[in-house]
Amino acid sequence: MAARCEPGPGAALMGEPEQESPRPEPAFVYTEADLFRSGIRWDGERPDSRFDQALRSAWERRMRAGCFRYRLWGPELPARELPGPRRLLAQLNVRRATERRPPQEILSVRQPFDPQRFNFSRVPHREILFPLRRSPSAEAAAPGGGPREPGGGPGGDAEALLIINVSPLEYGHVLLLPEPGRLLPQCLTRASVLRALELVFLSSEPAFRVGFNSLGAFASVNHLHLHGFYLRHRLELERAPTEPLAEAGLGARVHRLCGHHTRGLVLYSDGGERDRARVADALLAVSDLLLRRSLAHNLLLSRGCPLGRRPPQPDGRDGVRLVLWPRRSCFGAKDGAAFNVAVCELAGFLPVHTAPHFESLTEEAALRVIGEQLLPAQRFSELCAEIAGLPGH
């Protein structure tokens, strides 16, 4: 079995649920100084960041209080690495398949937001972990490891929210609501990409990932949100070789995966403020093109190596790779499938629905299921040519 993220100190308190329903924690206010841009290693040992401490503490408190639809703690979910060169990780999560909120009916990648349907403005207070606020002022810093008090000061960014996913895939599974009050549909915005990048850089754990599923790519709620969770398993795409789509313009910033079992596009950020902005602009140009072409897509942000044919040594993870998969649209779950293909599955993490599927799944079978949802090779090549022709930023 692959190593998994262990729960924090609050694990010792698991047992009887807390009597009082938790309220949201104070806002987590952060600055550039809180972002980790060096020293991230899979084999290294370093203390949790202030953000990791705040997330783990608030998440564990809600697990103790019974706020989730099922308990998920440490190694409670069986997992195994499938034999084969891809190192796919299969995990048995029957209760997520049977007890999660039924997905909304989605008919289009560009379906408008419907205030009459469930959206995240309706979640109870006990599911809210804390607001997130970026402040440009170093004076906002608070001593110690806990969240800072509200009040980022004039010029601070608008608040985002972190809430629990009540049907978690993994330890620490949360939802990032980048602009909750705007009631936006499930389409990436510049603010959402920037906030997602900051979230990954706030963590000192290479295991912390952020993902996005568009409509038609297994997003279950049409209200802008991204997923965040800890998965202590190395993914092939973190070091997979890449090549640029063009020598200049936007195509020089956007690469394609090479030698990987998926057809994906890759961007990279070293974490600098200007670099994050350039990467967000480039990603938005590509995602806007996908929306115009009515192409569903999934996105993963994960610590990874700089782009190129030969990833550098040593095996560091100081920057963030953003892997974007244009794919076939799928409106509704496939009956009888071992798993649905969304961002986790494309990345190599396979939450499986049933015990028989979990026990019998092979790498060959998994790759076949994933391959059925990829954009055909010819269409992907045509799309890459379109992206290479987009003006640079």
Q: Tens of pLDDT along the chain (393 residues)?
A: 344 444 443 333 334 445 567 888 899 999 999 999 998 988 877 789 999 999 999 999 999 999 999 888 656 789 999 999 999 999 999 888 787 777 778 889 999 999 999 999 999 999 999 999 998 754 444 433 343 333 333 233 568 999 999 999 999 999 999 999 999 999 999 999 999 999 999 999 999 999 999 999 999 999 999 999 999 999 999 999 999 999 999 999 999 999 999 999 999 999 999 999 999 999 999 999 999 999 999 999 999 999 998 876 666 789 999 999 999 998 765 555 789 999 999 999 999 999 999 999 999 999 999 999 999 999 999 999 999 999 876
Q: Return the structure tokens found at 89.
A: 């990780």
Beta-bridge partners for 323: 266, 300
Which CATH superfamily is 24-388 part of? ATP adenylyltransferase (3.30.428.70)
Predicted confidence at residue 50, as pLDDT, reads: 97
Angle CA 334–325–81, to nearest 5? 65
Q: What is the pLDDT of residue 143?
A: 35
Cα distance between residue 295 and residue 315, in whole Å: 34
Residues classed as catalytic: 225
249-279 b/e (C-beta count within 10 Å ≥ 16 → b): bbbebbbbbeebbbbbbbbbbebeeeebbeb
The string of DSSP codes covering 76-137 is GS-EEEPSSTT--EEEE-HHHHHHSPPPPP---TTPPP-TTS--GGGS-GGGEEEEEEE-S-
pLDDT for residue 264: 98
Given this model, what pLDDT does residue 41 score? Answer: 87
Q: In this predicted structure, what is the pLDDT of residue 103? A: 75
CA 137 to chain centre: 27
Q: What is the pLDDT of residue 75?
A: 61
The reported pTM is 0.90
**Phi, psi dihedral angles at 162 (to 5 degrees):** -110, 125
- Sheet with 128-134, strands from edge to edge, namely 28-30, 128-134, 160-164, 174-177, 226-230, 208-213, 296-304, 319-327, 265-269, 255-257, 242-244
Q: Are 291 and 109 in contact (CB under 8 A)?
A: yes
Residue 273 confidence (pLDDT) = 96
